Amino acid sequence: MSALTLPTVERDSFFTRLDFRSKLALMAAITGVALVWESPVLGGALALVVMLACLAVGVKCSYLRTVLTLLLPFAVFMMVMQGFGGADLVRARLHRETLTPLFTFPASWAIIGGGMMTWEGVLYALNVVCKTLTMILVLPLGIFTTDVNAMVIGMVKIRIPYRIAFIFSATLRFFPMLFEEIQTIIEAQRLRGFAFEALGPLKRLRVYAKIAVPLILGALVKSQTLDIVLQTRAFTGSSQRTYLHETRLRAADYAVIAGSGLFVIVAAIAYYGWGIGCFGKW
């Protein structure tokens, strides 16, 4: 079985050649607009565009399928909660008292009798789900398509303190080590005749909970080793240092940054000027 690693793209594309700073500008623009838009139509369209962009740059379909699978229970929960219990919030957003009923429980039923699911509540829940999906899928566009060293340099050049950039890069490098440690523990259990596949869901959760103990201890040992290595090399965290790799903004990067800024401006004018993106209008 192959070891678990952080997902990355497997092919070169226009987006992989961009500077990390332009990717950050695009990610910030998409996230900001997704947070502001309340329309499930425009929010869903934005989420679809981001998903197609992930496929275009080479993000694995298995990763997207995992994200959608994990998000499905949250989507169902939000639709039930907002459909039945979000009437007051929806009325406040729409500035009206009457809502469109989709389903009403018989009044004779205990506890839930008379409860009504509204169409507007379901639409509001869809908007929340689309926001969440967009903000989750926008991360691979910047993280999976950029080398960690290029991330550090890009963050330093936009005046982020080097210590924060180093912690960020060390975290990204640390995850594959943890995944490999998990795989090693599972393989050791299999060699001892322990079949994970034959266990039920609850028993499997108990086994994974026991794996957490040696995993945490191993992570603590590795973090202490990293601390000793940094001290022996007199690490100060100063940004006044040389870098093995250098990055610079090119014409394509300036175009992406300008396009991101224009997208935010147009979306803001349309939202506050004509109500495009407001809940109940688009």
Task: Compute the half-sphere exposure of residue 59: CA atoms within 13 Å on the CB side of its CA.
Answer: 24
pLDDT digits (tens, 9 = 90+) for 255-269: 999 999 999 999 999
Q: Which residues contact 7 (CB under 8 A, 6 or more apart)?
A: 59, 60, 63, 140, 144
What is the value of pTM for the model shown?
0.76
| pLDDT in the model for residue 123 | 87
Please, which residues have CB within 8 angstroms of residue 193's CB and are 6 or more apart in sequence?
Answer: none
Domain ranges of the chain: 1-147+252-282, 149-244
Closest by CA position to 27, among listed 128, 135, 150: 135
Q: Which helix (H) or strand (E) holds 17?
A: none
Say what the pLDDT of residue 267 is: 92
pLDDT for 237: 64
- β-pair partners for 101: 118
Cα 24 from Cα 260, distance rounded (Å): 10
Which pLDDT value is given to residue 5? 47
- What φ, ψ does residue 152 adopt, rounded to 5°? -60, -45
Give the per-residue pLDDT at 215.
77
Q: How far apart are CA 138 and CA 145, in angstroms?
A: 11
Cite the beta strand spans of 109-226 per DSSP E. Answer: 116-118
Which residues in the chain show pLDDT less than 70? 1-8, 10, 107-114, 195-197, 236-245, 281-282
Which pLDDT score is estimated for 109? 67
Distance CA 10, CA 180 (A): 20
Q: To 5 degrees, how large is the angle CA 244–CA 245–CA 249?
A: 150
Cα separations in angstroms, 32 against 71, 98, 157, 240: 21, 31, 22, 32
